[in-house]
Amino acid sequence: MHHRFQSAFAQLPAKVQSALAPLLDEEHFPAMLSAGQVSSLLSATGMDEDALAFALLPLAAACARAGLSHFNVGAIARGISGNWYFGANMEFHGATMQQTVHAEQSAITHAWLRGEKSLKAITVNYTPCGHCRQFMNELNSGLDIYIHLPGRAAHTLGHYLPDAFGPKDLEIKTLLMDEQDRGYALQGDALAQAAIRAASRSHAPYSNAFSGVALECRDGTIFSGSYAENAAFNPSLPPLQGALNLLSLNGYDYPDIQRAILAEHADASLIQWDATSATLRALGCQHIERIQLS
């Protein structure tokens, strides 16, 4: 079991511990549960979905990297596929506050980057901030997604974000988590191709500045992230954060990164290169490349 889970695991109900232990024994537990694994946990524990998600929140929060705030937030995004995806807040020493990933963003992009088509609910241990409520309003589930908080009745995002402003106000038809593929021609090695594929599926309807990042770890594992824009602009999540989020949730650490590639248009209306390279260097990665899309 990864050391980050040990304290949280010890506090779980005995039935949950017994059912979950074999999964956490994986060398790199992927911080997600397949629909089949969720079904097995429900059967073994006798819990309903809401109770199980609340019980698992401490494990999600244990994935947080909150070196600045020391305030761990965990979230679990429940996909229409039946898969559950963990998320946690991420902060980066040496980078700006704007590079921070909120727990809800973490869980949502985790699901999106693993191919989930839509979300039906998100469970979180603290009330979503305005930033996260706006980020969720970009989803194809929109204001209908349910938010579950400890000790409260479940409500839709529409309850928490009344009189909302979102992509539909700007006549945007393709929403976050809708299938997108710009069909950029692949080139280079496996890492380069992963960055290009991530750019192809990025969500950037406001700037059309499609971009993707791929990170290669020392053991050869590759994690990629796609740019996710928001109608309110500021809650947009850069592609590097998507890739770092997956890397961290899978139990890797920043020193494991040996090489990174950003794929973007050289003449785009906004450029990811400066922020991407500065953040990666702050995390200790010096081998950073850029591919120009065409």
Q: For residue 76, what are the β-bridge partners?
A: 86, 123
DSSP states of 220-241: S-EEEEE-B--TTSTT-B-HHH
CA dist list (Å): 106 to 14, 112, 113: 28, 10, 10
Of 49, 91, 104, 264, the active-site residue reads 104
Respond yes or no: is residue 104 known to be catalytic.
yes
**Beta strands of the chain (E only): which ranges?**
32-33, 74-79, 84-88, 119-124, 146-148, 155-156, 211-217, 222-226, 257-264, 288-292
Give me the helix-helix angle, 14-24 and 35-45, nearest 10°: 150
Cα 90 to Cα 69: distance, rounded to the nearest angstrom = 10
Catalytic positions are 104
